[in-house]
């Protein structure tokens, strides 16, 4: 589903945030990505929906080589990927419903379908009763859940999460990770960047380890 072949990402200031990274994530896998601050985790995630382009190498997502992907196909690629961010990036003057509906509005869905899908997504994250609330009135964990609902509302086969539990207490963090696991159980390929080593251990998933832009580990837990 996601293959990196000798991927190097050099930023315009000449810094190599990723250096000849190679890995493959199969369809339906759930994988963690960890490493110190500045190791390149966010950079790696951003290459998948083409928020950034790699400088050298190949990124293959859902059968498409991204280096060859014409600009006109980027919206299609992004519709196949859901992404959540640590800082949520919710719109403060939009209700929870409207925040989650946004990707569907942009994609041109009709209102009855938008209602149905947004409510289904909010139901999955346990926030159906908050659809009329504004993000500022929600806890950090609830805001993260709204971000997750927005990421899955168009039912993408791939879900990426950048530090989804950064601001949360351990119990809430585990709940959020379990939510990702539920999406994975129904077939979604999940890749999560996280510092939370204990939590990653608890989840018992394959883990990629980055250090200064090098992929130095790819561990699969023993049964
Ligand atoms: N747009 C940019 N221009 C130049 N350098 C950048 C840019 N974005 C990131 N970097 C550098 O690339 C390196 C990797 O950054 P990245 O955000 O991918 O790391 P990270 O592992 O996600 O870190 P954190 O855990 O702190 O979020 C860092 O040294 C960072 O300063």
Q: What is the residue-level pLDDT of the chain in tens, covering all 223 positions?
A: 999 999 999 999 999 999 999 999 999 999 999 999 999 999 999 999 999 999 999 999 999 999 989 999 999 999 999 999 888 789 999 999 999 999 999 889 999 999 999 999 999 999 999 999 999 999 989 999 999 999 999 999 999 999 999 878 899 899 999 999 999 999 999 999 999 999 999 999 999 999 999 999 999 877 6
Tell me the torsion sign for CA atoms 132, 136, 142, 146. positive
ipTM of the complex: 0.96
Burial category of 174 from C-beta neighbours within 10 Å (exposed 0-12, middle 13-18, buried 19 and up): middle
40 lines ligand 1 (CB under 6 A): yes
> So what's the pLDDT on residue 88?
77
**Under the phi-then-psi rule, with left for phi > 0, alpha for psi from -120 to 50, and beta for the rest, what region is 80?**
alpha
Query: In CATH, which of 3.40.50.300, 2.40.110.10, 1.10.620.20, 3.40.50.150 is domain 1-80+160-223?
Result: 3.40.50.300
Half-sphere exposure of 163 (CA within 13 A, CB side): 17
pLDDT at 222: 73
pLDDT reported for residue 139? 92
Length of the chain: 223
Looking from the CA of residue 40, the nearest atom of ligand 1 is: 18
The residue contributing the CA closest to ligand 1 atom 17 is 42
Ligand 1 atom closest to Cα of residue 13: 4
Q: What is the pLDDT of residue 208?
A: 98
The rounded Å distance from CA 15 to ligand 1 centre is 9
Spell out the domain ranges in the chain.
1-80+160-223, 83-155
Nearest ligand 1 atom to alpha carbon 44: 18
| 189-193 vs 30-35, strand pairing mode | parallel
Q: What is the pTM of this model?
A: 0.94
Per-residue confidence (pLDDT) for residue 168, from 0 to 100:
86
């Amino acid at each position: 589903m996601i293959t990196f072949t000798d991927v190097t990402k050099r930023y315009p200031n000449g810094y190599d945030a990723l250096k000849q990274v190679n890995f493959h994530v199969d369809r339906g896998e759930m994988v963690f990505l960890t490493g110190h601050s500045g190791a390149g985790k966010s950079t790696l995630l951003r290459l998948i929906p083409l928020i950034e382009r790699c400088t050298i190498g190949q990124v293959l997502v859902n059968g498409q080589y991204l280096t060859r992907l014409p600009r006109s196909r980027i919206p299609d690629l992004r519709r196949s990927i859901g992404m959540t961010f640590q800082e949520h990036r919710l719109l403060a003057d939009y209700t929870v419903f409207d925040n989650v509906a946004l990707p569907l509005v942009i994609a041109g869905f009709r209102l009855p379908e938008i209602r149905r899908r947004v409510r289904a997504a909010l139901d999955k994250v346990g926030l159906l009763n908050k659809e009329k609330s504004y993000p500022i009135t929600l806890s950090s964990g609830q805001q993260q859940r709204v971000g997750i609902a927005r990421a899955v509302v168009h039912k993408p086969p791939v879900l990426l999460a950048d530090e989804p539990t950064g601001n949360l207490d351990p119990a809430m963090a585990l709940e959020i990770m379990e939510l990702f696991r539920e999406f994975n159980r129904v077939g979604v390929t999940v890749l999560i960047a996280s510092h939370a080593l204990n939590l990653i251990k608890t989840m018992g998933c394959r883990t990629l380890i980055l250090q200064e832009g090098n992929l130095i580990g790819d561990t699969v837990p023993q049964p």
